[in-house]
Structure 1
Amino acid sequence: MESHRQLWWVVHHEYAAPFGIAAEYAHPIETMLLGVGTFLGPLLLTRHLLTLWVWLAVRLFETIDDHSGYELPWAWSNFLPFWAGPVHHDFHHEKFDGNYASVFTVWDYVFGTDGAFRQSQADRRASGKSSWVDIFDLVTPTAPSSKSTSAAKKPKAKLA
Structure 2
Amino acid sequence: MMNVTSTMHGEPCEPVLQQLWQSVKAGQEEILLSPYLLASWGFLTHVLLCAPFLVLDALGSVCERVQGWRIAAGSGPPPPLRRWYDCFWRLLFKYLTTILPATAVVQMLRSPKLPYLAPSCWQLFVEVFACFLLFDTLFYIWHLMMHRVPWLYRNIHQLHHQHQIPFALAAQDASSPELLSQLVLALGCAWVVGCHPLSEAVFHLLNTWLAVEDHCGYDLPWGLHRLLPCLGGAPYHQAHHSLYSWNYAPYFTHWDRLFGTYYATVMDSRTE
2:50 maps to what in 1? none
1:153 maps to what in 2? none
Quote how far apart the aligned CAs of 1:73 are.
2.8
1:83 paired with 2:231, answer yes
Provide closer, same or farther for how the CA distance between residues 58 and 79 of structure 1 changes in structure 2, counting only shifts above 3 A.
same
1:64 paired with 2:64, answer no
1:152 maps to what in 2? none
Provide closer, same or farther for how the CA distance between residues 57 and 8 of structure 1 changes in structure 2, counting only shifts above 3 A.
same
Deviations 1:52-89 (A, max 9, x none): 22111100100000000112233221121110100000
Greater relative contact order (Cα < 8 A, sep 6+): 2
Q: Which runs of 5+ in 2 are unaligned?
A: 1-146
Report percent identity of matched pairs: 28
The correspondence for 1:95, drawn from 243, 257, 261, is 243
Deviations 1:5-43 (A, max 9, x none): 994331111100000010011111111222222122221
The correspondence for 2:184, drawn from 36, 46, 70, is 36
The correspondence for 2:194, drawn from 46, 63, 66, is 46
Moved over 4 A (4+): 1-7
- Number of aligned residue pairs: 124
1:154 maps to what in 2? none
Q: Which runs of 5+ in 1 are unaligned?
A: 133-160
Provide closer, same or farther for how the CA distance between residues 99 and 130 of structure 1 changes in structure 2, counting only shifts above 3 A.
farther
Q: How does 1:13-24 map to 2 (within 5 A)?
A: 13-24=161-172
SS in 2 for 1:12: helix
CA RMSD of aligned residues (A): 2.8
Give the number of the structure whose alpha-carbon radius of gyration is greater.
2
* One-letter amino acid of the structure 2 residue matched with residue 55 of structure 1: F
TM-score by length of 1: 0.66
TM-score by length of 2: 0.41
Deviations 1:103-128 (A, max 9, x none): 111111111112xx32xx4xx69xx9
